[in-house]
Structure 1
């Protein structure tokens, strides 16, 4: 049997209509959505299928919606006999990976990320923080530049190392604006502002971490059944106490996604990476880490069928 790694997308991948095609076709997916609505006590299905997009994009809605989408599709995959040998997620997606590894139960994970979203929203005043993607510049130059700006009083941090040539910075709005000009001067091809509501994965999220830690202490976390590569360390984690500690740190630490993919590839145990959930962003990042890597992005019955045809051939 072929060996696959599951990858789960993070915030920004949400869009109205996601997972609806699976919902209409699969009774088990309907049951997952019913459980989610009971756990969250919000009409998450209506938000996901009908919008409006602005409401779905709010952090406290987007996070459980994306987790629900990924978990529902992962269930469909497992019902079709697909079991990953390892998993990882981008930021919020790490919670989806932990659900797939049975370290977290879906109901608890949904409530946890709903709270996480609220904590992230209130950690720093709306409109005062910002994030931007830096294209075509090395991490060393970017790190030195943001340190230089931070020393002058505006906080800016490296937030995501997505793939070679794409690094995201996060911090105060003014700090990111200053960094944008400085990084262009230093050779960045482009610096693109991101449509987010706060300075995620920066030191400015630390006020939310202590409250998140209290929520995690109340959550039933189990040892993971498969290796889940953590954002903070880019290394596999199994132990429930380590999972808990890393989820707290993840809130204000950079997402080491490029390194995570390299480490998963280096394990020598994967025939393909399968993006489970809405969008194809992570599949694209994987190919930028190694263009010869086989990837699939499963977000509707058609993409599922194409993947299963490959997965089961010569089985």
Structure 2
């Protein structure tokens, strides 16, 4: 029996042209882009389809752009009768999961993530923060590298993506030092990421506080789908905890590996990544290797990948 989970990408997955093919073919998808334009008083549709890249890369535009693209594709998948039992999104992607679960209206979500992006961008002066991916090193040794590097400043685990991949975040010198130490401890790679701020670490707490103030005015509904939280790697049980989790999510690590493990433990055997890119499917494949079960993996970002999904499910 097929049990489906939807996965929604976060910042970093964006590219010019995302969502264009599906919006041109499906009126429901195009309507989501139009709603986004009206909600933000901004031509986000044109930014997604045509760029320019330097504007799309700005965090306050990137976040609503990815959310809009993912929700537009989600509408089309729903029209074809494909639904998920469980959903989760990586960082920003969690807002797509909340829209899918009817916790947030799309209109409120897209306005909220634009502000979230701006708060995150402004929290740390440009050039003061950094993030890096540590590849091929046990978690305990990544922790050791960060502990040693803290003499240079703040450095913390930001994304626990899959076995052998942790993203770290913090002040530039501390992050660079942690990379050097990680390589000495045997990491295959320790690479600085091209990001505008040190996401998911304590330096972003101020951004979370500002987001908390915005969330006061946002309507939250009880989830109609099972959602796994980035902060806990476990299910969101009650709508009362959602605003607190979204506030914490900005400055706390994303427990993605734990989230996928929870899905597998609950019988999920089909993962569908909805939105730009296929990074999350890659993570799911690595996480699921230790299980004896058989799994299917799909990503949907254009007509070709949509048709592939529809012919196999």
User: How many Å apart are 1:182 and its aligned residue?
Assistant: 0.9
Please list every run of 5 or more consecutive structure 1 residues that lacks an aligned counterpart in the other structure.
Answer: none
Question: 1: CA distance between counterparts of 2:30 and 2:203?
Answer: 38
For 1:271 and 1:142, locate their aligned partners in 2 and report how far apart those are by CA, in whole Å.
30
Does the aligned pair in 2 maintain the 1:90–1:257 contact within 8 Å? yes
2:157 corresponding residue in structure 1: 158
Tell me by how many angstroms 1:86 deviates: 0.7
Structure 1: which 4+ aligned runs deviate by more than 6 Å?
Answer: none
- Give the whole-Å Cα distance in 2 for the aligned partners of 1:122 and 1:74: 31
| Structure 1 equivalent of residue 250 of structure 2 | 251
1:223 deviates by 1.0
Unpaired segments ≥5 residues, structure 2: none
Report if aligned partners of 1:133, 1:166 keep a CA contact under 8 Å in 2.
yes
What is the RMSD computed on CA atoms of the aligned residues?
1.1
Which residue of 1 is the match for residue 283 of structure 2?
A: 285
Aligned residues: 309
- Indicate yes or no: 2:101 matched with 1:101: yes
SS of equivalent to 1:161? strand
Q: Distance in 1 between matches of 2:183 and 2:3?
A: 42
- CA distance in structure 2 between the partners assigned to 1:149 and 1:184 by the alignment: 13
Question: How far apart, CA to CA, are the structure 1 residues paired with 2:74 and 2:35?
Answer: 16
So what's the TM-score if we normalise by structure 1? Answer: 0.96
Residues 136, 165 of structure 1: 8 Å contact kept: yes
SS at match of 1:236: coil
Q: Is the 8 A contact 1:286 1:293 kept in 2?
A: no
Aligned to 1:173: 172
8 Å CA contact 2:124–2:203 kept in 1: the answer is: yes
- How far did 1:293 drift? 2.5
Specify the alignment match of 1:209 in structure 2: 208
Partner secondary structure for residue 11 of structure 2: coil
Once the two structures are superposed, what CA deviation does each residue of 1:89-127 show, in whole Å capped at 9, x if it has no partner? 001000011111111100000000000000001100011
Asked if structure 1 preserves the Cα contact closer than 8 Å seen for 2:159 and 2:253, the reply is yes
Q: Take 1:272 and 1:181, find their aligned partners in 2: how far apart are those partners?
A: 38
- The 8 Å contact of residues 225 and 238 in structure 1, kept in 2 or not, is answered as no
Distance 1:293 1:203 in 2: 36
Aligned residue in 2 for 1:307: 309
The equivalent of 1:69 in structure 2 is 69
Residue in structure 2 matched with residue 274 of structure 1 by the alignment: 272
1:139 Cα deviation after fit: 1.0
Task: Tell me how far apart the structure 2 counterparts of residues 247 and 80 of structure 1 sit (CA, whole Å).
Answer: 31
Residues 191-243 of structure 1 deviation map (CA, whole Å, 9 limit, x = unaligned): 01111001000110011111100111111111111110000000011421211
What SS is found at the alignment partner of 2:125?
Answer: coil
Whether contact under 8 Å (1:159, 1:170) holds in the other structure is yes
Contact 1:222 1:239 in 2 (8 A): no
Following superposition, the deviation at residue 144 of structure 1 comes to 2.5
